[in-house]
């Protein structure tokens, strides 16, 4: 079975996420044992960012900022779609807190809606999001 980085790379709707993970050097970390849950922004999600934001983040000089942003989307352990609970708190690998909302069969993470769900890899699971989780 492929690992979660391979799952992200194989999904054409996650092409920017794949490029970003590689640019940040997180492909090595996220290929390790884990397990991890990744909330992966889709192409549509990255398209919602202010003009020039993504291009700036992908510059070599901004690797640290890109890494921080991507780490807002990674949680240790495996959380499948059926396991999400309303008002659940998840802690990212960089210590930030995410809030889960469940209503009418829809799950949001800090306001970003889960699109694709439970794409399993050998070391975790990937859920795609319609919005990039930005934390001030």
pTM: 0.94
pLDDT at 136 over 70: no
Q: Could you tell me how many residues make up the chain?
A: 136
Q: 46: closest CA among 25, 9, 92, 15?
A: 15
Domains of the chain: 4-129 (2.30.180.10)
Residue 128 scores a pLDDT above 90: yes
- Looking at residue 134, its pLDDT comes to 85
Q: Which tens digits make up the pLDDT trace of 45-62?
A: 999 999 899 899 999 999
Q: How far is CA 127 from CA 16, 104, 130, in A?
A: 15, 18, 10
Mean per-residue pLDDT, 89-94: 96
């Amino acid at each position: 079975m492929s690992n979660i980085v391979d799952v992200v790379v194989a999904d054409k709707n996650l092409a920017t996420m794949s490029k970003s993970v590689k640019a940040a050097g997180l492909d090595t970390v996220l290929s390790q044992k884990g397990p991890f849950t990744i909330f992966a922004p889709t192409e549509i999600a990255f398209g919602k960012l202010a003009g020039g934001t993504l291009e700036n983040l992908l510059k070599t000089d901004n690797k640290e900022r890109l890494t921080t942003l991507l780490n807002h989307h990674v949680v240790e352990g495996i959380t499948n779609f059926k396991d999400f609970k309303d008002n659940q708190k998840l802690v990212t690998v960089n210590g930030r807190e995410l809030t889960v909302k469940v209503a009418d069969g829809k799950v949001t993470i800090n306001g970003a809606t889960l699109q694709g769900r439970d794409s399993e890899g050998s070391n975790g699971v990937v859920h795609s999001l319609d919005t990039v989780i930005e934390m001030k």
